Amino acid sequence: MMELNYLGSVYPTRAVITTMKERRMGRIMFVSSQAGQIGLFGYTAYSPSKFALRGLAEALQMEIKPYNIYVTVAFPPDTDTPLLAEENKSKPLETKLISETSGVWQPDQVAKILVKDVVQGNFNSSVGPDGYMLSALTCGMSPVTSITEGLQQIVTMGLFRTIALFYLGSFDSIVRRCMIQREQSKAADKRE
């Protein structure tokens, strides 16, 4: 996962960054995931590789901003693609139930938002209300594109954290219920 998701972004960036610096302009987009903002059941290999892109993007943005080069890190939600359909065939029940809370987006909707954010030079690119909330909650020391963006993050942080606690409680409940069901099923199988 690290080779594909992290190094698969590092190497092409290294290949183009010198030319961008010489031209004193450019845009770089890393495609992370909402699972790169919150660790989720069933994604213990995937999530860290997508979290790593955020760190890469933050450090790189600081280094290349003086050259008029901007980095966007995209955090798309589940998107209706053949890859998602394939993933859903083997996804653990807990992961399916947690994923359902956010819904599935169409590729053209996601692409329009991501391209718009890159063109505008936004550091974060998120999709939908859940994506907006996650980006605000996980902004940390991320660069902001405008004072308005920073103020929105400050104003919404408390409310979003409260909402997030309900989500996390729901996710924990899903994981517990699935574990109990699995254990009951195993116990019933042993009795037979």
Alpha-carbon gap, residue 21 to 69, rounded angstroms:
8
Q: Is 46 a catalytic residue?
A: yes
Q: Is 6 a catalytic residue?
A: no
Given 46, 70, 99, 135, the catalytic residue: 46
Q: Is 33 a catalytic residue?
A: no
Q: Residue 73 phi/psi, 5° resolution?
A: -110, 120
Alpha-carbon gap, residue 98 to 170, rounded angstroms:
8
Give me the residues paired with residue 74 across strands: 31, 125
Tokens of 32: 């992370």
Given 43, 47, 49, 50, the catalytic residue: 50
DSSP SS3 for 25: coil
Alpha-carbon gap, residue 72 to 74, rounded angstroms:
6
Given 9, 32, 126, 135, the catalytic residue: 32
Q: Residue 101 phi/psi, 5° resolution?
A: -70, -20
Q: Could you identify the residue written with the tokens 């698969």?
A: 8
Catalytic positions are 32, 46, 50
